[in-house]
Chain A
Amino acid sequence: MNYQNAQGDRRPVDPRTGKPIGPMAQPGYYPGFSTLSQQKFWDAKTRDVVLDRVNNVPPIRFFSPEEAKLLEAICDRVLPQDDRDQAHKIPIVPQIDKRLYENSHDGYRYVDMPPDRDAFRLGLRGIQEIAQQQYGSGFLDLGPREQDEILQSLHDGKPSAGHEIWKKMAVHHFWLMLVSDCAEAYYSHPWAWDEIGFGGPAYPRAYMRLERGEAEPWESEEERYEWEPPANSLSGKYELVAGRVEHFGSPAQGGTH
């Protein structure tokens, strides 16, 4: 895919040396930690569900090949994995495609939003429209900086073009749904659990070291390293999503207390 080579290295960098980090099998501060290595100690149903997620990546059935390719490029910026080697990238688009193919949703829809299927198709068209109007080429052919500028404009609720399309849905609701879907696909994968040091399934074995952040005997201690997003990326800083104040919580939010 040519967009991956466009305009510069997409990998994060080591701030001390300025050199790119990765690609590697397991980014994060828990080297060698493997939740999957504990699968013998999970209950059978949980093991089936998690292994199915890892081993059976669903085929693309909802999106057209062109749409899937475009969404792939978008998800590579919304949830970049350039520090992961090819064999250890976590599939995002197949999970989104599966959800939309099955028309699965979270039990509610904002009154200012079309159904999720339509919202995704509109969003893809809207993003292409911005790319064409602002940069004179398709999203796929843009460099990381330009791609991030487009996505940042959705984050800020101010898309620069495609107003006919964005009129049909609340931009911030679309943006939050897109980021949520990417996050859900990524952080439901055991490789992501290894990356962040989450212990994963724990039935029937249980946890016994509950306090002071102590690791179970089969968990790993934290070993931090310094890294920074590449200079050509805009997503390393934190700014609140525009429109957030008027809308409570995130899409598909779980219960809390």
Chain B
Amino acid sequence: MKAPLWGEFRSQKRKSHMLGPIQRIETPMHRFPEGEEVDYVIVGVGAGGGVVLQRLARAGFRVIGFDAGPFWDTERDWVSDEKGAHNLYWNDLRITAGQHPLAFGANNSGKGVGGGTVHWASFAPRLHPSDFRIRSEDGVGFDWPITYSDLKPYYELLELELPVSGPSYFPWGDPHGYPYAPHPMGGVGDVLIQGCTKLGIRVSAGGPVAILEGSRADRPHCIYRGFCIQGCKVGAKASTLITHVPDAIGNGAEIRANCMVSRIHLGENRRVTGVSYFDPEGREHFQKAKAVIVAGYSIETPRLLLNSACPGFENGLANSSDCVGRYLMAQAGNVVLGRFEELVRMYKAPPAHALTEEFYETDPKRGFARGFAIQTVGPLPIAFSKQMMTAKGAWGWGLRSVMMDYNHWAAFGFLGEILPNAENRVQLAEEKDQFGIPIAKVTFNLYDNDKKLIEYGKNKTMEVMWAAGAQEVVQEARYAHLVGAARMGDDPATSVVDQFGRTHDITNLFICDGSIMPTQGSANPGLTIMALAARVADCLISQGEKIFNSNERDMQRPPMRRDLSPPDTWGHGMPTFSS
């Protein structure tokens, strides 16, 4: 038994709420009086909700962020343990159906303040310019109502706010650099770089990931413990819980945690008046608001709208287009695993630390539209055992045997674009949850282009693993992420919200999360969701009171409010490249 090197942090005598080992929030926090009308209610404080909450609070609006899960104290609530992270996920029941059904829970759904950013691996690439117009360029999917250049300044802003670490020159899409330096490599990153280099494929080392490689303000740098998707106790990995929510609270926002919003109410003149919610004791309340922003992500957002059906909106609130719940997407996320003669120990370092987007764009020679990325992943033992169960069919002694070789394996995540389809959708099931609210039933099928893309991309990813010197390569089919199901567009007949997240049907009802994305590219969606949220916030702030007392829809592009970023955002950065 070897002697440890050093010990636990000095225990903190604290009454305050800890967000990482240094950052704290004084308790009790501000609470709006019962019965008082607020300016905005935000349903869900995740990637989108967290950013828009922070902007609105800093701009002086009276705003409440509801979340169905807890307001985490990261020191008290989180663990460095795979099984112990179970409570970070949305574990309420959903029914999954279709020929190629999706997994939920730990795979893609957060519950609690910070939402999915609490357990994302935090790869933070941008979409490519081509992603915004795949209908025009490739004849598939749907064009966005905005272009890359509309979102680019918000990408740059959020890359500073999180911030994102990565190379100083990222060559794909719109080439750019990252404000924080790339991370050191772990074993899996070395394997990806080796394989890619052998095959002449360009590869990005050490990012882009929203993990601090140097400490900043009250957040320490990464310690390379590998438990990113179990919740970063270190406070190095960005989540809106630690990057945006503290600033929102400091500017008067209220977080109403463990409160499940069950219905949005429609009043006169086609305007919403507030939300019903269940408090932690299960009592139902009504919270009055001048406007409502739904930010529950791609399953809960459509579920809430469908459950808010009322006279005039019999098929679901803001659903005159019949697009609520439709065009749901997940990315193909096959995990490719390779065994090496030498040890890898892939549990060290963040799972996300190197990637290639060399295959991102459409290549007509491949026989399908759009493309994919290849990224590092670092499954811990439980996840790896399940991957061996599906990838090799391992059980019994076979499982014990391959698990004894855990330290010899490396894993890549293929990340492929699945195209939007109207039949991939969220509906309501007959079953109800603990509050009596109908649960979501999700149907998902892969179509021809999806299948061809997955087959090609999976084989290419395996080829890279072989090229790195693996003795054995296997793969598991699976998905990663969710987006869509309340898409944005210019035409109210084929989309749910406009380019500012405002529902076409109701002028004081907004959606601000991944569900508004019309397509998904092969980039992990977190950064794009946050950039869109900052843009939505600029629209809300520039229109001010008009949103509360008029049904006029102003489509002017709002000025960018860089001054509303959380403190300490500026003064870091990279020069931009001329394009």
Contacts and interface: CB of A to CB of B under 8 A. Distances in A.
Interface in B61-111: 75-84, 86, 89-97, 99-109
Interface string B391-406: 0111111111111101
A210 B121 contact: no
Contacts of B8: 40-44, 204
Contacts of A230: 397
A42 B86 CA distance: 19
B400 A79 contact: yes
B476 A236 contact: no
A257 B234 contact: no
* Interface size class, chain A: 35 or more
B119 interface: yes
Contact of B107 (A45, A110, A220, A255): A255
Interface string A40-61: 1111111001100100000000
A196 B407 contact: yes
A39 to B, nearest CB: 10
A211 B343 CA distance: 9
Interface string B484-503: 00000000000000000000
B390 interface: yes
Interface in B373-400: 375-377, 379-383, 385-387, 389-390, 392-400
B368 to A, nearest CB: 19
Contacts of A65: none
Most buried by A among B2, B184, B343, B397: B397
B431 to A, nearest CB: 9
* Interface size class, chain B: 35 or more
A139 B390 CA distance: 26
A29 B400 CA distance: 12
A249 B107 contact: yes
A66 B335 CA distance: 39
A111 B441 CA distance: 9
A148 interface: yes
Contacts of B257: none
Interface string A193-225: 101111111111111111111110111101000
Contacts of B344: 213
B436 interface: no
Given A255-B120, A257-B352, A250 B390 contact: yes
A107 B406 contact: no
B390 A107 contact: no
Interface in A73-129: 77-80, 104-111
Interface in A159-209: 176, 179-180, 183-184, 186-188, 192-193, 195-209
A206 B80 CA distance: 11
A80 B96 contact: no
Contact of B81 (A46, A110, A249): A46
The 7 A-B residue pairs whose C-beta atoms are closest, nearest first, are A235-B396, A213-B343, A107-B105, A206-B223, A249-B478, A229-B397, A202-B225
Interface of A: 12, 27-29, 32, 34, 37-38, 40-46, 49-50, 53, 77-80, 104-111, 148, 151, 155, 176, 179-180, 183-184, 186-188, 192-193, 195-215, 217-220, 222, 227, 229-230, 233-241, 244-257
Given A40-B8, A256-B411, 20 more contacts: A41-B7, A43-B79, A45-B75, A46-B84, A53-B83, A79-B395, A109-B94, A201-B79, A201-B227, A207-B349, A209-B348, A211-B185, A218-B2, A239-B393, A248-B102, A249-B476, A251-B103, A252-B103, A255-B229, A256-B351
Interface of B: 1-9, 11, 21, 75-84, 86, 89-97, 99-109, 119-121, 123, 184-187, 190, 223-227, 229, 233-234, 333, 335, 342-345, 347-349, 351-352, 375-377, 379-383, 385-387, 389-390, 392-404, 406-408, 411, 413, 415, 441, 476-480, 524
